[in-house]
Amino acid sequence: MPSSQVFAANNCGRVFSLSTDQSCWRELPYLGVEFKRVSAHETVLWALGGDHQVYVFVYGSSVPIRVCEESYENQRWNPMEGFTSVLLPSDRANFSSADGLAPRPLSSVTLPTLAWSWESAWHLHYTHNGQALDKEGWTYAIDFPRTYTAEKRWNSYVRRRKWIRYRCYVALDTWSAVPPIHHDPAQEPFIDISVGGGEVPGEDPDKLMVWCVTALGRIMVREGVDGTCPEGCGWAHVPTPPDQDVTSVWVGRSGRVWAVTWDGTAIVRTGVSRDCPTGVEWVVVDPPEGSRLQQVAVGVNSVWGITRDHRVWYRRGLQASQDTGSDSGKHDNETGHKNLDTGTTWLLMVGLLNMIAVGPNDQVWGISIEDHTILVRTGVTETELTGRTWRPICLPAGTFETPPPSMNSSPSSSPCLLPFPTSKISSSIDSKQPTDTFTKDEQSSPSSSTGVSLKALEDNDLVIAEKVFDKLQLLQVQDAETEQENDVKLSRKENDESPGKESVKNHDTTTQNEGNDSAAPDDSRESSIRIRYPEDYPSSLSSSVISEHGGDFISSLQASDDCILPSDALVASQNSSEVKTSHEKVSEDADSTDIQSRENSTAASNNQVKPEKQEHLLIHAEQQSTSSSMEWSESRLRHTSSSSSAGSEAGLSRGSLVVPREEGANYKLLALEAEHLWLWVTGGGCWIRANNMPKWFVSECCPALSTEPWRVGVLQKLRDRHGKEMKPFTGYEEAVEGSSWVISGQCRWWVKGQWVPASLELIMIGSRRSQVQDATLIVRYTLGSKRVEEISCSTILMSVMCVEPTASRSFVAIYHPDHPLWPKTLSFSAETDAEDWLNHLSTACNQFRGLTDQPSFYTVWGVTSQGDIFLHDCSTTEKELRAESVAAHQRLPVGTGATPITLLLNRGFRPGCFVSISGKIHCNADQFHINLQTSRGTDTDIALHINPRFCEKTAVINSKKKGIWGAEEFGQLEVLSPGDHCEVSVVCDDKDFKISINDKFWYSFKHRLVVTKITHVVVRGSITVDEVTYNHGAGERQLTEWYWRGLGGHLQRVQGGAGGVTWGISHDFHVYTYTGATGGGLYKASSNDAGVQIMSDVRHMYVWENQRWNPVTGFTYRGLPTDRHTWSDQTGRHQRAKESVKLQSRHWSWTSEWCVDYHTPGGVDREGWQYATDFPLSYHAHRYATDLVRRRRWVRKCRVSTSGPWQQMEKVALVHVSVSPECAEDGTIPVWGVSVTGEVVVRLGVTHNKYQGEKWKLVPAECPMCSVCAGVDGCGVWAVSKDGQAHLRLGVTKKTPQGVQWVNVDSPGQPLVEVSAGAWSVWGLDRSGSLYRRTNVLPLFPEGTAWEWVCGSVASFSIAADGSVWAVLDTYDTEKGTVQGVIARRVGVSRSCPLGTGWEHTIGTGWSSVCARVPLPL
């Protein structure tokens, strides 16, 4: 399971996160603002600050958010001057948007907020529809708005070119303020916030819904919040029914909205859908009898509520949100929906809570009333939404640490330095040199009290800003006055309620407040200017802070408890908003060494913490932009500049010019550490599961136990016991013999085209420690007569399982070298039986082969279309071969040794074989010879003839073909002399025989005949042979003899590289690294399962809906008889109804209903349709008059829960990843990836010990990419952009593995999807499955010259570092028929034929991806 985070705010306003794989709360960076409420989604956290403004914290991604701003420069030709920027009055503006409707001068395109920074200056874009343009980048057309072409023609009257500039969201992992509704943030502060969405049917998953409640009881919705615009772009008011002012709101993930009004009833927004994200109308839901609601929490299928007496209620009668994309009339839907959205009755649950939250999967979180601990509801499942019990999370809270820089290229890595309360300042970023500006800010702000960087602010901004500032000042002073009064009231209220010692403290506080009236009481002099949070917080102060911050929250609760009229509530909330006016501070207690009044404690602590913490808040200053709304232009930027102009005044606040107010110390009676009381929790981005709770509850966690001292002690003692009682007695007989173990079962067996009932027996023979020495699968069945089939586990090469849900049968396929593509298949009626047998078989095979350890670096990875992961370890094969070759060493019988001797080389002769003859040369020898010949006879072809002629004082080496001797070659005779013992050995190499005499190399003789024809060795002449040894060498392993080992997990692709570093990407774009363990998933009995983690993955199922137009009824399902089915698969050939789409196995579950897919490739209209003139022509989103058919895609999500040796990387979503097959000079292995948004990133610090690496680095590219291929030297780094162009990274060497710049390389006409390279051999794959090779790629000219077509029907491919080409073939023809998804290696690749001649396939079908990048070193 991917780790995810739950967030909570405590009584000090600090926000903490708790990851599902950790057992410690971690504090988020504190930037000077406290938070009251937080609401999380997977990637982003929205919060309500102590100042009652809204803040956003993007945490979920370490890949930067980049947006390309573009503007088109238009020119028209006139006969006088040629092309000029003088256009006709009816024309578009000189600089305009793509459609020409809006003028868009470059200077008007500004950053939306200060959370963004420009990445580069404006520059031209040089491609047009995948075609490279000339230096000026113009495209031409007859007139606006026609189709533009790259070529200038005689009738090209207009031209345009595209200017682009990237902006980058820099406020990652830091808080950033969201602009308020009005210019003056104090005018309408917020009192509640909720983030939802992401699972609205048909809507983009990154499109979020942010609903807020203001102090006026109005509901505001933040518009345009999505992945590329995390802070949204405007506020929209959603009117509530009259007299129904709202205090609290909750948005569910499916878009269900509930709100609570001041009188404690709930109102539910109906009709929220993709088309209407703010809903249609409100429906009132009565609260539980006799109670008033205080808060509700909405999940996908459940709604929980808390009443003011803290009781917890569950809403019954809700149903899953129905798909809204269906054609049925809206009105029917609405009436039907009402009940579905509102439910029927409230059900009282056990427990008293302060607040409640619902996360994904309808998991429920809460905060207990008595000790403010965070609770998790256990046992919440789809069938039991109410769960079982509340379970507290009691974990230590770590304090704030500087977060690791997410992306060192982006300036966001260090939180921006901006004092918050003093001035609501924001720095503005110099658009051209963002990094520089930030550095300056960092240096300047600690010294200057305001820390304003004015550099980039325009003058007119300043003027306006000053005015606004003045206004603000007045207003805030007023606020401050009312605020103080109210706080006194508030404290009193708290006294009534807060139990125990806290109330005593509060009492102190209150009396002091009363005594000092408007003055700010000082707590303790000596505690001035200290980082008071969290350890150093003086205990006396902490108590007051607890009551203060707790009070804010409680006050709002109380406000509702006491049924205060809305107007009162407004005051209450305003008071609690403690409007952070620096001016107040300036006037009242400008001495920053003073501890501020409790009323201001939030602000005060900000002031004092800042200079030391050096962490500041980045506030959005929304820059003036003509194109944006009023709201945008009238933003807090004004305050920024204004307060900066008033810098001298603000400086007083820190400058100690004002006499400090003295006051007696206020000590607590008991020295207690600051209590940690949780006030708000959000699990909106946290995926937990009832059956698999995170490590937070220590007792459940097995890995945590492994370090427990007692467990370590027990294990050590057990090992000692082994050493003492057993080691010394190894010679003793075993009382229980390691006997064979039989597993038996029943199945059906596929034989001769039918399923036959069969009984199965797996016999394993082995000693203890589950070492299998031999294993055989015996299948007994009756087909006519009784038959038995025995399959030795040594011949089983792969076992795969698949489930046929429609037939409710599960298959285990066993691949055997005899039929590498057609398995022997067992069929089981129970899925669990099949799983057991797969497990038994693979365990037996692995143990038989001794494969229990981590695979070597030289591993080929394959992933099937089911997401199963297999690996073949080439070094194991190498080991097996070596073992075989040792066994292959044989001594041939020579009898008395008298010549002639003719011996059979029984296993043939080929490269790698060797034969050695030792004997004594006769004293009077004149000559002898040794032949390697192709048959027994004397008149046969001789491949090698070694003939020392002592009489002629020479040694002749020759060959004989068809009775004719070849050209004689001569070797030295000195090494041999009559009477000596000698040993002549011949090693067959690829190109020659290497002959050595007495272990010294003597001669090399080039092959003249085909060596594999050699069958006999013959010795004749004056020699007595002592010994002939023959080694037939290692047998070659065909690809179809490779053993594939299964691993647990579910991934889309796996990429291995140097040092065994292996990364994988799941279908939901999570990134995993291989832990080196084996097992997981279905492979249970593994000895090495320490690194096995829980995993999950999400896939989408699709069906297509097809319609044909007829003139009477319009589009209907009644098609022509020849047409495709109404419901079909993508090809349209097969019927595929929604009901017939089943889950892949019992480990999968649906996570959504069927809904229309609005993201169908090619684009869709508002209802999701694509049109075409006829099936199956090309589809387009817009309907033309000629279009007679239409189709749309329906999608349903499902999720698998499994486990595997894969560790998830956090905070990154990649579509493509590639691990370099070579190390860089510093020993790191660059891992390149492409993010979902098309950014190229490289992971630094990856070594073979540290698979995860250290950090991401952005490698900015001009256009969004879709794939990348990592390399270091011989391969280079190649990427493919979304428009199908190849890009080569220049300057990639071992020293600079990240390279210097991208260079555009053309595509082979068709858009590419992937390019991979190795050993100066570059191959590319296009969208239609054609494989190309880049010609003339040379180290000096790595771009090559052109693409050369190799073959088609390739689904994916991989180039090894030695240049060998691997691919998954889409279709592969065999004699038994065509199969799909075959892994194959390109054969016949040579210098003269670089494209190769064909494919050599491995075993198995249904593969979807292969990775073979690291070849076995020779």
For the chain, first and last CA: distance in Å? 40
Q: Kindly tell me which of 203 and 1089 has the beta carbon lying closer to another protein.
A: 1089
Per CB under 8 A, the list member of 101, 276, 718, 1010 interacting with another protein is: 718
Contact 943, 1007 (CB under 8 A): yes
Binding region for another protein (CB under 8 A) out of 51-59, 60-68, 736-744, 1359-1367: 736-744
Q: What secondary structure does DSSP assign to 434-460, as a single string?
A: HHHHHHHHHHHHHHSSS----TT--HH
Residue 719 touches another protein, criterion: CB under 8 A = yes
- Which of 567, 630, 729, 1121 is close enough to bind another protein by CB under 8 A? 729
Give kind and range of the element (H or E) at residue 928: strand 928-933
Buried b (16+ CB within 10 A) or exposed e, 102-113: eebeeeebbbbb
- Is residue 479 within the footprint of another protein (CB under 8 A)? no
Task: For the CB of residue 362, give the shortest distance to another protein in the complex, in Å.
Answer: 21
Span 1170-1229, contacts to another protein by CB under 8 A: none
Task: Compare residues 768 and 1376 and give the one whose CB is closer to another protein.
Answer: 768
Q: How far is the CB of 844 from another protein (least distance, A)?
A: 11
Phi, psi of 1389 (to 5 degrees): -80, 125
Closest distance between another protein and the C-beta of residue 349, in Å?
18
Q: Is the peptide bond before 1176 cis (omega within 30 degrees of 0)?
A: yes
Q: Which is nearer to another protein, 820 or 1048 (CB)?
A: 1048
Q: Single out the residue of 1386, 1228, 1265, 1216 nearest to residue 1318, CA to CA.
A: 1386
Toward another protein, which CB reaches closer, 189 or 1204?
Answer: 1204
Q: Does 711 bind another protein (CB under 8 A)?
A: yes
696 or 750, CB closer to another protein? 696
- Closest CB 760 distance from another protein, rounded Å: 16
Give the binding range for another protein (CB under 8 A) out of 488-496, 731-739, 818-826, 1028-1036. 731-739
- Single residue of 732, 990, 1000, 1339 touching another protein by CB under 8 A: 732
Query: Residue 394 or residue 904: which is nearer to another protein going by CB?
Result: 394
> Minimum CB separation from another protein for residue 1392, in Å?
56
Cβ of residue 717: shortest distance to another protein, in angstroms?
Answer: 4
Angle between helices 459-497 and 539-561 (to 10 degrees): 80
**Least distance to another protein, CB of residue 1090, Å:** 8
Scanning residues 237 to 256, which ones bind another protein (CB under 8 A)? none
- Angle between helix 500-516 and 459-497 (nearest 10): 120
Per DSSP, the three-state class of 1248 is: coil
The nearer residue to another protein, 154 or 732, going by C-beta atoms, is 732
Of the pair 736, 1418, the CB lying nearest another protein is at 736
Angle at the Cα of 1316 (from 1314 to 1320), degrees rounded to 5?
A: 150
CA distance 1015 to 356: 84
What is the DSSP-derived secondary structure letter of residue 1342?
T
- For residue 74 the two structure tokens come to 């238009």
Shortest CB 732 distance to another protein, Å: 5
Closer to another protein by CB, 736 or 1112: give it: 736
Span from 724-732, 791-799, 1062-1070, 1341-1349 in contact with another protein (CB under 8 A): 724-732
Q: Is 470 in the site for another protein (CB under 8 A)?
A: no
746 binds another protein (CB under 8 A): no
Nearest distance, CB of residue 501 and another protein, angstroms? 24
Nearer to another protein, 378 or 1252 (CB): 378
Residue 529: C-alpha distances to residues 90, 532, 594 (Å):
65, 8, 8
Look at strands 969-971 and 964-965 and give their pairing: unpaired
Residue 622 and residue 637 in contact, taking contact as beta carbons nearer than 8 Å? yes
Site for another protein in 635-654 (CB under 8 A): none
Strands (DSSP E) along 1224-1376, which ranges?
1231-1235, 1240-1244, 1255-1259, 1265-1269, 1277-1281, 1286-1290, 1301-1305, 1312-1318, 1321-1326, 1331-1334, 1347-1351, 1354-1359, 1365-1374
To the nearest whole angstrom, how small is the minimum distance from the Cβ of residue 842 to another protein?
A: 14
Q: For residue 691, which of 704, 702, 700, 681 has the smallest C-alpha distance?
A: 700
Angle of helix 601-613 versus helix 539-561 axis, rounded to 10: 140
Q: How far is the CB of 757 from another protein (least distance, A)?
A: 20
Interaction between residue 705 and another protein (CB under 8 A)? yes
Q: Which stretch binds another protein (CB under 8 A): 196-204, 723-731, 894-902, 916-924?
A: 723-731
Does 1150 bind another protein (CB under 8 A)? Our answer is no
Q: Judged by CB under 8 A, does residue 734 bind another protein? A: yes
Number of residues in contact with another protein, rule: CB under 8 A?
40
717 contacts another protein (rule: CB under 8 A):
yes
Pick the closer one to another protein by CB: 94 or 1075.
1075
Least Cβ distance, residue 376 to another protein (angstroms): 12
What Rg, from alpha-carbon coordinates, does the chain have?
38
Nearer to another protein, 106 or 742 (CB): 742
Please, which residue, 139 or 363, has the CB nearer to another protein? 363
Contact 877/1045 with Cβ under 8 angstroms? no
Q: Binding another protein by CB under 8 A: which of 241, 664, 713, 1417?
A: 713
- Phi, psi for 709 (deg, rounded to 5): -60, -35
Among the listed residues 739, 1293, 1328, 1336, the single contact to another protein using CB under 8 A? 739
Following DSSP, what letter does each residue of 198-219 receive, concatenated?
Answer: S-STTS-TT-EEEEEEETTS-E
Among 724, 786, 953, 962, binds another protein (CB under 8 A): 724
CA 1002 to chain CA centroid, nearest Å: 60
C-beta pairs of 142-148 under 8 Å, 24+ apart in sequence: 144/74, 144/91, 144/92, 144/100, 145/99, 145/100
Q: Regarding beta strands 175-177 and 618-619, do their DSSP bridges make them parallel or antiparallel, or are they unpaired?
A: parallel
DSSP symbol at 299: -
Window 753-792: residues binding another protein (CB under 8 A): 768-770
Contact flags string 1069-1088 toward another protein, x per CB under 8 A: ----------------x-x-
Q: Which residues contact 328 (CB under 8 A, 6 or more apart)?
A: none
Contact call for residues 75 and 93 (beta carbons, < 8 A): no
DSSP per residue, 778-814: EEEEEESEEEEEEEETTT--EEEEEEEGGGTEEEEEE
Residue number, 734 or 939, with CB nearest to another protein: 734
Both tokens assigned to 169:
């969201």
Site for another protein in 1088-1107 (CB under 8 A): 1089
- Give the dihedral sign, CA 950/954/959/964: negative
The sign of the dihedral angle between the CA atoms of 725, 731, 735, 741 is positive
722 forms part of the interface with another protein (CB under 8 A): yes
Q: Which of 699, 754, 785, 924 binds another protein (CB under 8 A)?
A: 699
Q: Which residues between 351 and 410 bind another protein (CB under 8 A)?
A: 391
Q: Does 898 bind another protein (CB under 8 A)?
A: no
- Pattern 28-67, binding to another protein, x per CB under 8 A? ----------------------------------------
The reply on whether position 671 binds another protein by CB under 8 A is no
| 701 scored as a contact of another protein (CB under 8 A) | yes
- Interacting residues toward another protein by CB under 8 A: 391, 697, 699-702, 705-706, 709-711, 713-715, 717-722, 724-726, 728-729, 731-736, 738-739, 741, 768-770, 1085, 1087, 1089
